[in-house]
Amino acid sequence: MSQNRRDFIKKVGAVSAGASLISPNLLGKKSDLKNDLNVSNSNSDFKLTILQTTDVHCQIHEHDELFWENEEIVFRLTGGYSRFATYVKKQRKINEHVFLMDTGDMFQGSELSIKTTGKALSPILNA
């Protein structure tokens, strides 16, 4: 059974919203929570893969980044949305439910972000 991402996000949102409305007093009483939240009664496992980015700073191209390894400075090629897009596509082929989120500083912190007020990243993210 495959669903598109929009349907998946709607279901996760509905379950989250419903769960937030449940009073702690109701948790002690016997009820069928799955039916109360209109969730499928399927006994199959559900796997959710969460991919997270942070501190991208509008760096859309691969670049050398400083890392500390074994107490030494090492530079490695990192970043780049083309590499990231390839990784996300691979994960979505492997896993049915993949949720992608950014946790901050995506649109600021580089010359590109300043000159475009972060708008340069929007078409890349939409693609």
Q: Are residues 19 and 64 in the same domain?
A: no
Q: Are residues 35 and 51 in the same domain?
A: no
Q: Are residues 69 and 112 in the same domain?
A: yes
| Structural domain for 115, as ranges | 47-127
Of 40-44, 46-50, 94-98, 118-122, give the lowest mean pLDDT range: 40-44
Q: Are residues 28 and 57 in the same domain?
A: no
Q: Are residues 20 and 54 in the same domain?
A: no
Identify which of 48, 37, 38 has the alpha carbon closest to the alpha carbon of residue 5. Answer: 48
Close Cβ partners of 53 (under 8 Å, ≥ 6 residues apart): 84, 100, 101, 102, 103, 106
Dihedral of the CA atoms 29, 31, 37, 42 (nearest 10)?
Answer: 140
More reliable by pLDDT, 42 or 23: 42
Total domains in the chain come to 2
Q: Are residues 51 and 99 in the same domain?
A: yes
Q: Are residues 15 and 51 in the same domain?
A: no
Question: 87: number of CA atoms within 13 Å, CB side?
Answer: 13
Residue 115 has pLDDT above 60, yes or no: yes
pLDDT band of 1, cuts 50, 70, 90: very low
Which secondary structure element, helix H or strand E, spans residue 75, and what is its range? strand 72-78
Q: Are residues 55 and 110 in the same domain?
A: yes
Q: Are residues 64 and 120 in the same domain?
A: yes
Q: Are residues 56 and 115 in the same domain?
A: yes
For residue range 86-109, what is the model confidence (pLDDT) as tens digits?
999 999 999 989 999 988 888 888
